[in-house]
Each structure stands twice: as C-alpha cells, then as structure tokens.
Amino acid sequence: MLTQPMNAMKYIMLMNLTYWLVSYSLHVIKLGTFTRDSHKNMGLVHVGEQHGLTWKECEDTEFCCSKEGFRESKVNIVDRQRAHTSITRTRCKARVIVTTTNTNDQWVISKSYQKHIHALCTPTMTPFIRSNRAQAGGYHNVGFTHKDLNNALQRDESGALHNLIWSDSTSRSDYICFGDVITFDTTYKDNLYGRPIMPIVGVNHHHNTIVFATAIIADETSQYFEWVLHNFLEAMMNKSPISVVTDGDSAMQRAIKSVIPNAKHRLCYWHLSRNAQANIGDPKFTAAFSKCMASWWTTDKFDIQWRSVVSEFNVEKHPWVIEKGNTRHLCAQAYLTGHFFANIRSTQRCESMNASLAIALKHKKTYLDVVHAIEDGISRMRLNELKADYLSSQTKPFQITKLVEFESHASEIFTHKSFHAFQEELQRETLYRIQEEIQSLSDECQYFYLKKYKEKNRTFEISFDSRTKTLNCSCRKFKTIGLSCRHQIHVLKHLDYTYLPGYLIQSRWTKDAKASVPSFVDLNVPQEIMQMARFASLRANASMLCYSASKTDVSFKITRDEMKRLTEEFENSFGLNDSVNRSSVLNNVRDPQRKQSKRKEVTKNKVEKKIRRCGFCNGEGHNKLTCPQVKLGLNTSTQSTSTDFF
C-alpha cells in the first residue's frame, strides 16, 4: 500500500521537487497526460535542453523507480545475431505521487511507497544512474587526485633518477583480491630518456585489466627486475603471486626465479607465434606450432604431436626449436593445464596499455608526462570497473537455456562477464552423454565417464564426492580458469542439482569478489566517486540557477556576484588557491640524462631506401593485409575463452 504524506513536505517549484527525487535514484516514468480512476492527472510535458527545463502546470505527477515494470516479451529468433541485453526491470512498485495544493502555488508529496524489491545502488554507483549520468556529462568533467601513494625510487651516482615504482592504495587492495596472477612487459620505451616502462597488471572479476603497480627502470637487466619485484612485494605486504606471464625475456626469468621462485611462470602465447615466424620463416610451421602450444591436450598427446610437427618440417636441429622443446613446460598449454592462470595466456593486456600510453603521450615524453598519462589511464580503467559493478548489481543477464533455476543461481553469483563464460559451457554440456557410471564401494564417491557427441576417441572422467560436494574433472579446466567446465555441469544436471555447489564457485569471479578486502586497506575510489556524485548534483542545480537568473539583468548580476563570492570563500577555506614557494622545496632527485637520438649519415649521392616491413610479423615483401600469418588465422591477440579442444 501507499503510505501517508511524508510530513506534508511542500515545494514551491516542481523542478525543485524533481531534483530531490532524482537524488534518491528515481526518475519520471510517465510523461504527458494520462488518465486513472476517472480523475485528471497531468504530468511533465517538456524536459528542456542542456541548460534548463521547461515545465507545464500540473495537478498530479507520479514518479516511479527506474526498475518499475517488466521487459516486453518478443518473438524468439532462432538465428539471432545480436546478443541479449541485460534485464533492468524487476516489477518494482516503489513510487512517489505529488499533487498541487488548493491554491496551486505549492507541491506536496501526497503518497509514497518506498520499499524496493531489489538491491539499491551504493553511493559509488550513483553516477551511473541514467539521470545522474546525464547531469555529470562524463568523468572527464571532474578532476581528482589519487592519494596514499606508495612508491620507491633509486638514484645513480650523480643523484639522477635511476629506477622508480609506484602503486596507490586502490591498486594494493586490488592486488589482495586479484593478485594471484600477474603479467608485465617492458616493450614501451618511447620517452626522452629511453627508459623501459614496466606496468604490472592483472585481471579483475569483470575480466578487465587492472594495474597493480608501474615501474620505470634504467635497463632491462635481471638486477633491475629484481629491484622492481622486491619493492613490489614489499608494497603488497609480501603476498606473492601464484602465476606470472611474461614475454620470455631471459633477464625476467632469472629475476622471477630469484624473487618469487614458487610462482608458476608462463611465456606469452602471442610472442611465441611471432618468434616462430621470425626464426623459421614458414607460415605453415607457425600454424602447426601455434596449435601445439594452444591445444588442451594431454602431455602424452602433445609430445606425439610435437615430434610429428618437428619431423614434418625438418627442423629437429634448429636451435630455437630445440630450446622451445626443452622449455615446453613454460609454453605448452598441455603442461600448464591444472595451474590457475585466470585465462591469461599473453602479455596483451600490457601491450594494449602501452599502445594507449603511446597515443596519449604523442610528443610529450618526460617522466612527468608519462606518470600523468599512466594515472589517467588507470582512472579510466577504474571507472570502467565501477560501471561493470553497477551493471552486474542492477541488471540481470538474459537466460538462454531451459535450466531456469540452475542458470538463475549462477547469474546471481557471478559478474556478467563471468556468467557469460559460464553460459557458454552450459550450452555445450548438451553435446556430452554419460557412457558409464560407477559407485565406489570403499568411499562415497561416484565416477562418471563422459563421451562427446560423434567423438568416441576421448573420455572424460568426473569424480563426485557426496560428502564434500566436490566435483573433479579430468579436463582440469576449473583448476586452470576457475569456472565450471561443461562436463561438471552435465553431471550436476544428471544429479538433479538446481544450483552450483560452493566448491565450483571461485570468489574472484563473483560480484562479491572485493567484499573480503581488509578494513586496514584505504580505498580512495569511493572518495573520488563521491566527489563525482556531488559535482553532478551541484552542476544540475547550477544549470537551473543560471537558466532562471539569466532572464533579467538584476537576477544575472545578483547571481554572478554571489557565485564569485562563494568561489573566493571556498578557495580560501579549502586552500584551493594556495601558492607554493617552489624554491623552498628541496628537490634532491635530478632528471636522468636524456637519450640522444641517433641519425644515420647518408651520402649525398646515394640515398638508402628504407625496407618496408609487415606490421604484424615484421617480415619483408608484404603488409598486414597480405600477411600469410593473418590469412592462416594466427592473430592470437584476442584471447578466446572457448575451449573447443574439449
């Protein structure tokens, strides 16, 4: 039922009432004229443009929750091309009804029903509500700084900056939740000092890139890599990652063995394919090599296929091939399956960050420019994460199978990205059948042997312990990626489960992945986002004020003078305009020596023609469009979560 008026709160202008309601995440759901119970209700007629609102006099207006109603049912298309959008409506009945007074000069809240049937937005998510998002106009309109910075630097003999690493409190709290797998790369050196930039990144519960720390080092040696890793672990309370992905640099490998010897090391799959083409030069060999390294085979099958490929292309004695054969435990998926890597197979996340950094810097390449560009990129990543949090908590993924309860339970637990990966496995479980089921006499374990439709060469063994609710599969995908495989799902369906057992739910892929962050870790994101929300609210009210004040000269001058007075008052109160005597600040860290660009001397009579190379494989005689590697489908920059090798 609707409650009685809330203390008869009166508002002289409907627009003031509207902004009060918007701040509580309500929005106008009905516009124009509508009829109910044979009495006239007139609502909002026109919402103005960017700088103001135009209103028509109303008698009654109803404000509803943004989740009111339900999605209209549509015809199911069999060959649907576009993915289903998330469901935002939950039939929520929360609403507020306002009416005019008898004199029609004030508005009063006559009825309200404030009980929502869904989770409400947290303060950090309010900027993503449609009304607030329209007011703010984008995160770039709000300036904020990161606090609680943890950094370490090293100077050379002359006092110049040698090595630098920094990480703020948000990055350190992210590492507590998602620091089980890290990857780093030092390919980007485009700055005035010629120093490698080394971002240390991982993946969060939305499968998005997050930055744990960033370093700028003097050179790519094991000594400097060890310095970075030691300071990195110290900032992260000496919590070591369980897996590391790098591009195969030998100095990195030595540093990893020295500082984090217990971490499982993996070489970048994309670099392996490029190096195969660069060393062997045969696109067909590169294709066969890449397939061997990426396939989810058993180790025995990999060894057989590896010998076959090496023999077929007659490269048994090639030094690079011999080296990769000896280090197969770092390269081949068959030898890495069963160890958790969070579906990270390459350093592409670092590469994409470096590419964005190069675009942002352009001709500005000092250390200060680099730090500002990196911090700006990290801010964008965090805003994307917050938006993903909002979508995961306030919308529901579309279900595509008939296992309604099972799929619904997974959608409530996992983030949208994780659920979509789970949903793919849920669809593919129908390709399997249980060939044999054995009940163990010695314990309470059941063993299931699965076969794939039209494929009889491989059998998957799943063991189920009814006491502990553990379900282990021979494919070991759950241990490698952290999400249930299709074989486990098929057995759960066979056992009439309507939910995922806790054993098959890894917290790092869930909506509550960051709920276990220790309280002593200072999260500064909420402060920044709260500033963003306050800015949005003030900007909306200021827009209405400016619109009204601009109608006459008198109101314009009064408003201008008051705004100027308030601005000066706040600047003096909060020290926003404090001047700093730069000469009094002791700067005992000097800039490193700038790298001099080398110019090749060319004789006047003969001008050497630059050899054009392919931007993908670095080969001669072709470009990206005609690259044989691209034609063979070797562009592995996009990591697929699909595992068709099962």
* 363, HSE (Cβ side, Cα atoms, 13 Å): 0
pLDDT of amino acid 138? 42
- pTM across the whole model: 0.66
Domain boundaries, the chain: 10-121, 148-267+346-395, 404-509, 529-571
Neighbours of 200 (CB within 10 A): 25
How confident is residue 394, by pLDDT bands cut at 50, 70 and 90? confident
To 10 degrees, the CA torsion angle through 519, 525, 528, 529?
Answer: -110
pLDDT of amino acid 449? 95
Q: 271 near 616, Cβ under 8 Å? A: no
Q: Which of 27-31, 170-174, 506-510, 515-519 has the highest mean pLDDT?
A: 506-510
Indicate whether 608 pLDDT > 80: no
Q: Is 81 helix (H, G, I), strand (E, B) or coil?
A: coil
% of the chain exceeding 70 in pLDDT: 66
As beta bridge partners, residue 64 has 27, 95
Q: Report the C-alpha gap between 442 and 449 in whole angstroms.
A: 19
Indicate whether 421 pLDDT > 60: yes
Q: Which of 41-50, 59-68, 332-341, 433-442 has the highest mean pLDDT?
A: 332-341
Indicate whether 522 pLDDT > 60: no
Indicate whether 140 pLDDT > 70: no
> pLDDT, tens digit, for every residue of 539-556?
767 877 888 888 889 999
More confident residue, 60 or 102: 60
Return the minimum-mean-pLDDT range out of 118-132, 285-299, 375-389.
Answer: 118-132
pLDDT of amino acid 579? 43
Indicate whether 585 pLDDT > 50: no
Q: 287 near 266, Cβ under 8 Å? A: no
pLDDT of amino acid 487? 95
How confident is residue 82, by pLDDT bands cut at 50, 70 and 90? low
Span 326-345, average pLDDT: 93
- The tokens describing 204, both together, are 């969060």
How confident is residue 9, by pLDDT bands cut at 50, 70 and 90? very low
Cα separations (Å) of 200 from 211, 244, 365, 375, 532? 6, 10, 20, 14, 28
Q: Is 383 helix (H, G, I), strand (E, B) or coil?
A: helix
More confident residue, 350 or 468: 468
Q: Does domain 148-267+346-395 have CATH number 3.40.50?
A: no
Q: Report the C-alpha gap between 504 and 318 in whole angstroms.
A: 44
Indicate whether 32 pLDDT > 60: no
pLDDT of amino acid 135? 43
